[in-house]
Amino acid sequence: MKRIVITGSGAICGAGTDPASIVASLVAGHCAVGPISSWDAQAWPCKVAAEVPEYNGAKLLGDRKLLKLVRRSDVFGIYAGGQAIEQAGLPAARQALDEAAAAEYADQTGCYVGSGGGAFEVNYDFFPLMSESGGSLENFGRELPNMVNPMWLLRSLPNNVLCHVSIRHQLKGPNGCITNHTTSGILSVIESAWALREGDAERVVAISHDAPIEPQTLQYLNCVGLISKGALRPFDTEHDGCVLGEGAAAFVLETEASAASRGAKVLAEYLGGGDASEGEGIFSIREDGDGLARAIEAALLDAGLAAADVGMVVTHGNGTEQSDNSEAAALVRIFGADMPPVTAFKWSYGHSFASSGLLDAVVGLEACRQKIVPGVASLQNLAPGCEGLNVSAQSRAPRSDIVLILCRGFAGTNGALLLRAVQ
């Protein structure tokens, strides 16, 4: 297979606005979870989340007018995608070409985006009119054009980031918008890699984004018992649920030949990826972690690696008891007693759903490049169901330059990535 490298990365979340600052926050033991400020959460059972601090959409986008056409989640995705593209040097490379070569360059540059697929907030524009219409559909229809943003449909589309990033940066190659809950971001990377392997493109931008901190999402997740009463404590005896976060992340993946042709700095090598589904129900998770274990096995097979080659593991670590315990079981099944250092990041910047997998990958890669496995600062006592897990509250060194990133979602979906850090 073609050797695939990563030449750009970007990230934004409650813990920072770039990969390096996020890793520094993790190593310092900083938790970005705090009182929700984007809406009044006083009446909600959970009042905290990991929001991006001092949110300024116009500043992040560099285009105030565009705010009329996109949602908060889209702002994060466009920002992270642009950050990765600039680091990879794609704009400068294209501008140095003549017109014909630049057109070919654009046709050979693709984009895959992992999105949440939609949010309850897109319907909130209708609430005032629903109240004022008094239950009359005729009154509702008559006043609809006067009270609802005419850009409502455009702002609600799940593929906004794909469209705006591709248009802004002239990415005219293969593209796709993946909406597969939490594993969307991991799948965007895997799809990007296969586009490169199959010769459909020479370089691809992979992005994921989400902003699930909204009233209905929080309420519904709390009703099914997935929200913590105060803090996200992966693998700890006190783990009682997740805490919501928001953000986005991005990679620029290229064939080795593409990167070498312009002397691009290589951050990492993409080694392999795998995904598997248990398919036993929306909230069902097998106790033995079978789906996640199979995803890891598929990634190792794809990469041509043995479990002993892995230097560190970034887990899903969402803080729910059933997920934590089954994730530990999957890792014990794969590694046994020879387990590399294991860590998790959501204790710091929350669970950002569709963006979480790629966000963990970007941050995990940066940590591995710095030769550090950030500790899980919220860990005090390992939960009884997580025996055998090589996890610590203290930062450690990875045992090799290969990082395994895990991600899980509703309906028993599981994804795994293997990357080799390059110094």
> What is the pLDDT, as a whole number, of residue 390?
98
Average pLDDT over residues 59-86: 94
Q: How far is CA 337 from CA 236, 388, 389, 417, in A?
A: 20, 7, 9, 22
What range does the domain containing 410 cover?
A: 4-118+158-421
At 349-394, the pLDDT tens digits run 999 999 999 999 999 999 999 999 999 999 999 999 999 999 999 9
215 and 128, same structural domain? no
Number of domains in the chain: 2
Regarding whether 234 and 193 lie in a shared domain, the answer is yes
Do 339 and 406 share a domain, yes or no?
A: yes
Q: Which helix (H) or strand (E) holds 77?
A: helix 72-88
pLDDT at residue number 45 = 85
Give residue-wise pLDDT tens across range 19-54.
999 999 999 999 999 999 988 998 888 899 999 999
The pLDDT value recorded for residue 118 is 74
Instruction: Say how far apart CA 17 and CA 295 lie, in whole Å.
Output: 30
pTM for the structure as a whole: 0.96
204 and 285 within one domain: yes
- Considering the domain architecture, whether residues 106 and 203 belong to the same structural domain is answered as yes
- Cα–chain-centroid distance for residue 387? 27
Same domain? For 138 and 190 the reply is: no
The last residue of a domain, from among 132, 153, 174: 153
Same domain, yes or no: 254 and 345: yes
Q: Is the pLDDT score of 423 beyond 90?
A: no
| Per-residue pLDDT tens digits for 178-207 | 999 899 999 999 999 999 999 999 999 999
Give residue 281's pLDDT: 84
The mean per-residue pLDDT over the stretch 404-420 comes to 96
Residues 269 and 162 in one domain: yes
Task: Decide which of 96, 131, 153 is a domain's last residue.
Answer: 153
Question: Do 361 and 258 lie in a common domain?
Answer: yes
User: 51: burial class by Cβ within 10 Å (0-12, 13-18, 19+)?
Assistant: buried
pLDDT in tens, 110-152: 999 999 877 888 888 888 888 888 889 999 998 888 887 778 8
The reply to whether 164 and 308 lie within a common domain is yes
Give me the helices (H) in 115-214, please. 127-132, 137-147, 152-156, 160-169, 184-197
The pLDDT value given to residue 392: 98
| pLDDT, average across residues 60-68 | 90
Q: Same domain for 138 and 264?
A: no
pLDDT at residue number 37:
94
